Structure 1
């Protein structure tokens, strides 16, 4: 069963183009939009090196299970030097490209709205991408329904969706310190390191932050103080060092961050 409010809001659009990254918010939006509007919901995924491979795979599984099609686009942010220089408003440049691509699809299809998985919690944070959304006239049905992250997870659980409790999964660009240039190689290094630690240590939340030529692995602080887990982590970091020496030699050092995980640590200069 789906809550009536969100169904009513989506039905009110009549048709839409939805941005779907593969995190819990956008996946739920895709499922509900498809179940409510059927072919009137065009679901679009930005195929970008900044999207974690696991997120793209999760989206493909959900699309298969739910029976909807996903259109992939190259929004073009990797060709924009304003994005690649990784300024404090990096997300604005990324989302501007994404919403321009979605606007073209909406025009061609005659879709009435472009929608995103933004929720109420996002409105209290510094998110330059929301400026791009406002400029593009993007609608946020979860915000219109008064839903925050907890409500989104609760709704996904009530619908029996397997992704209800997956950890937050921001783009890989968020792991690269503000001012450190974004490259395909740095994004690939982040994804490879995080996947290796998750696989070797069974940890749901891992971050590989890159600043210049240094990579730091962040996990929950309590794990760092567990001798058994610490040994496994140190072995995983040593393996990452060997992988990087072969595939990403521009990264000179890899180490565990002794401070542990903290949200948004690579984001420097927030107003």
Structure 2
């Protein structure tokens, strides 16, 4: 099947449902699912974003903007992963605990709205990409993943996003802030806050692919390898050192290997992206 056929099949599958609530981060995967759902179901489709300490404020703003682009109703629910000691412990199953809680809130809101189907942005490339315990939560909760069900891989997701004219068609994958904390180091509000403040600086300087990894007070900045020259600029170095120390880091470093997916995850493998898609962890 070509992309057009896969898109039509996904749209038809959603059109058969009474309604759908899409777990929506504003990344390309969930945005494509939201666009397809809105195309198929109109007002019976709802995009829902879960707000918590692990979601950067800029990502929530972006989700609101993309939902408006699509024209889909947008709901925001709130919860705290930090209420769950299993999540805070940050073992190899952190993303499973996060995704279970996050999707649980989606089902709660769906029931309140009288909607039976909850969808997410898992695509057909995801299952083969490293350590992804969050996908187990998707299976256990019986979330409908139309991209996965119709064999739509990541490059095809971006192609469909372009067909819908979505501004996030080429947006880099983003993971929740807890993915910046090495496995085994507790996730705390202090660590999440200083990571968010650090990454806000990189975003303001125009970096596209970046992470600030929190090694218990040592900030390790990762940027795309094609952006390393920019990160070595003297003005940026001074700004980064000052800003990240003010944010609460004791030391500030730049990783000369550049950005690497899942570099603080178990076995140095990728765990499920927020695409964020749903905030999990790269």
Cα offset for 1:56? 1.4
Structure 2 counterpart of 1:239: 239
2:191 aligned with 1:186: yes
* Structure number with higher relative contact order (C-alpha < 8 Å, ≥ 6 residues apart): 2
User: What are the residue-to-residue correspondences of 1:13-92 with 2, within 5 Å?
Assistant: 13-92=17-96
Q: Tell me, yes or no, if the aligned pair for 2:180 and 2:214 is still in contact at 8 Å.
A: yes
**Change in CA separation of 1:15 and 1:222 when aligned onto 2, cut-off 3 Å:** closer
Q: Tell me, yes or no, if the aligned pair for 2:66 and 2:166 is still in contact at 8 Å.
A: no
**Partner SS for 1:204:** coil
Cα offset for 1:54? 2.6
Q: Deviations over 1:11-60 (max 9, x none)?
A: 12221221001211111211221222122222210011212333212111
Cα offset for 1:230? 4.7
**Change in CA separation of 1:223 and 1:162 when aligned onto 2, cut-off 3 Å:** closer
Q: Tell me, yes or no, if the aligned pair for 2:119 and 2:143 is still in contact at 8 Å.
A: yes
**Change in CA separation of 1:156 and 1:93 when aligned onto 2, cut-off 3 Å:** same
CA distance in 2, matches of 1:101, 1:223: 38
Structure 2 counterpart of 1:258: 256
CA distance in 2, matches of 1:20, 1:173: 18
Cα offset for 1:63? 2.2
Q: CA RMSD in A?
A: 2.1
2:225 aligned with 1:221: yes
CA distance in 2, matches of 1:265, 1:98: 24
2:123 aligned with 1:122: no
Cα offset for 1:168? 1.0
User: What are the residue-to-residue correspondences of 1:99-248 with 2, within 5 Å?
Assistant: 99-125=103-129, 126-200=131-205, 202-224=206-228, 226=229, 229-232=230-233, 234-248=234-248
Deviates more, 1:167-176 or 1:189-198: 189-198
Q: Tell me, yes or no, if the aligned pair for 1:46 and 1:72 is still in contact at 8 Å.
A: yes
Q: Unpaired runs of 5+ in structure 2?
A: 270-282
Query: Pick from 8, 14, 18: which aligns with 1:10?
Result: 14
Moved over 4 A (4+): none
**Change in CA separation of 1:137 and 1:187 when aligned onto 2, cut-off 3 Å:** same
**Partner SS for 1:45:** strand
Deviates more, 1:211-220 or 1:57-66: 57-66
In the superposition, the TM-score normalised over structure 2's length comes to 0.86
**Partner SS for 1:84:** helix
Q: Tell me, yes or no, if the aligned pair for 2:197 and 2:244 is still in contact at 8 Å.
A: no
Q: Unpaired runs of 5+ in structure 1?
A: none
Q: Tell me, yes or no, if the aligned pair for 1:88 and 1:269 is still in contact at 8 Å.
A: no
In the superposition, the TM-score normalised over structure 1's length comes to 0.90
CA distance in 2, matches of 1:230, 1:102: 39
**Partner SS for 2:266:** coil
Q: Deviations over 1:205-238 (max 9, x none)?
A: 11111111211001233443x4xx3542x53243
